[in-house]
Amino acid sequence: METARRTPYQLTFFILAVAVGSFALMQSMTVPVLPTIEAKFETTQSTVTWVLTAYLLSASVFTPIIGRLGDAYGKHRMLVVSMVFLSLGSLVAALAPTIGVLIAGRVLTGVGGGVLPIAFGIIRDEFPAQKVSGAAGFVSSLMAVGFGTGIVVAGPITDVIGFRGLFWVPFGITTAAAVAAWIFVPESPVRTPGRVPAVPALLMAGWLVALLLGLSQAPRWGWTSPEVIGLVTLALVLAMAWVWVEHHESVPLIDMRMMRLRGVWTANLVALLVGFAMYATFGFLPQFLQTPESTGYGFGATTAESGYLILPNAVASFICGIVAAPLARRIGAKFVVVAGGVLGATGMIGLVFLHDEVWQILLVNGVAGFGIGFVFSSLAPLILAAVPAHQSGSASGMNANIRTIGGCIGTAVMSTIVTSHTVASTGLPSESGYLTGFGMLGAMMLVAALAGLLIPVVRRRTGAATAAPATAEPARVPVTA
């Protein structure tokens, strides 16, 4: 391991960026081509949506669990495990002879969501102090960049090599990155002693699956249907049981004292709200752009063309990943989050008034992208600054998970709004349905900006923005070889 420890942090950073970027791409690349997958497998719309739902549920369950396993058993080890699942799931999906096998592959891929909290933990443990905020912010921004880029590249890849290319390309990239991670990324010397408890993990998985399944199916089943009410009720019961059990565990899966830290719960609240807006925007803006021109508001864009119109969002988020850290050093990460919320709201509300010309779509998308990018680039350093090093994985894993929960809620609410404004003569949503939805998403970004004002200002130590944790840090277990 001594040789591995001398790996330049720049190489480690590149490997982590590829891993996180690949996961983010796989979140969204299937979104624009679900109709193609539905036709190829001769299945139904309700069945093909499980290509997304299964991935979402799997990632939601395993992201915080793998983050905690990394804290306990080694971040290098769990990074490789996560990337192997990304690769394996992509391979299964690429070779899938049936829609059922494809969905199973997506479940395996979702396990790879653990790369995000593991990456943050490795950055905190291994990078020079003055580089932590910038590296963590850039990696965090890759979630927004990758999600937007996935929608952009889905059409061209499908046009050139077919929809299975959406899985072959990530398989090749993640396989190579997994090998590089195994060889070059050093093991972390910081661990949380003790076992990882099984009961809290099962309870957390239970309430997450119940909640996200109910929310994702609510537009189809109905918000007041017995199924949705039953699943949400079950989620609440299991969540309360989970919190109670965690409070009574000597070494909990997720430390509830940590979750109550002001720097943690405020960042999680912002992640919930911005996730709500971002996922819904990327999910429904392509549909808006692909609506036939005969409706009077659509562009009649192809899958590829609608992706290109969303490209400014991804480009802006990428730029934010580079400039957010220097900006945070000048004005504070908290105020970058607030500014990002305001910019995101401006862009999304701008869609309500500027959506008739291509240049208008490009403009408001770029503004929204800067907003989302600034927020996500700043949340990860704030989380790392608020918790002890041994809780980096579990804290960032829950933050990523809460972002996903927000996205699921936002997508479900947006779907309900849009479909409730369907024009009977065409069977397509009306313009007012989309505009009402975009206005609601803009309002959510404004609420996120207000929530950002509650984030505590962190202190600087040795050139890096940090905060004194409010909980005592247990003994660290050094790793030696």
Q: What pLDDT is attached to residue 459? A: 58
- Angle, CA of 413, 417 and 421, to the nearest 5°: 160
Q: What pLDDT is attached to residue 343? A: 95
Q: Could you report how far apart the first and last alpha carbons of the chain are, in Å?
A: 6
Report CA torsion sign: 377, 381, 383, 386. negative
Take residue 59 and report the two structure tokens written for it.
Answer: 């990632």
Return the half-sphere exposure (C-beta side, CA atoms, 13 A cut-off) of residue 51.
31
Are 99 and 47 within 8 A, CB to CB? yes
The alpha carbon of residue 377 and the mean position of all alpha carbons in its chain are separated, in whole angstroms, by 12
User: Taking all residues of the chain, what is their mean pLDDT, rounded to a whole number?
Assistant: 84
**Boundaries of every domain in the chain:** 2-185+253-466, 197-252
**Is domain 2-185+253-466 classified as CATH 3.40.50.2000?**
no
Residue found by looking up tokens 């609420």 in the block = 447
The 3-class secondary structure across 364-396, one letter per residue, is HHHHHHHHHHHHHHHHHHHHHHHCCHHHHHHHH
**What's the pLDDT tens digit per position in 206-243?**
998 898 888 888 888 888 999 999 999 999 999 999 99
For range 81-101, the mean pLDDT: 93
Answer with the residue of higher pLDDT: 347 or 420: 347
pLDDT band at residue 449 under the 50/70/90 scheme: very high
pLDDT at 477 over 50: no
pLDDT band at residue 478 under the 50/70/90 scheme: very low
Q: What pLDDT is attached to residue 249? A: 82
Take residue 142 and report the two structure tokens written for it.
Answer: 């890759």
- C-alpha 411/C-alpha 420 separation (Å) is 14
The alpha carbon of residue 221 and the mean position of all alpha carbons in its chain are separated, in whole angstroms, by 25
Are 174 and 26 within 8 A, CB to CB? no
Q: What is the DSSP letter of 473?
A: P
| Separation in Å, CA 33 to CA 50, 108, 169, 250 | 13, 20, 15, 47
**Residue percentage of the chain with pLDDT more than 70:** 92
| Separation in Å, CA 438 to CA 217, 374, 395 | 21, 20, 31
- Computed on alpha carbons and rounded to an integer, the radius of gyration of the chain in Å comes to 21
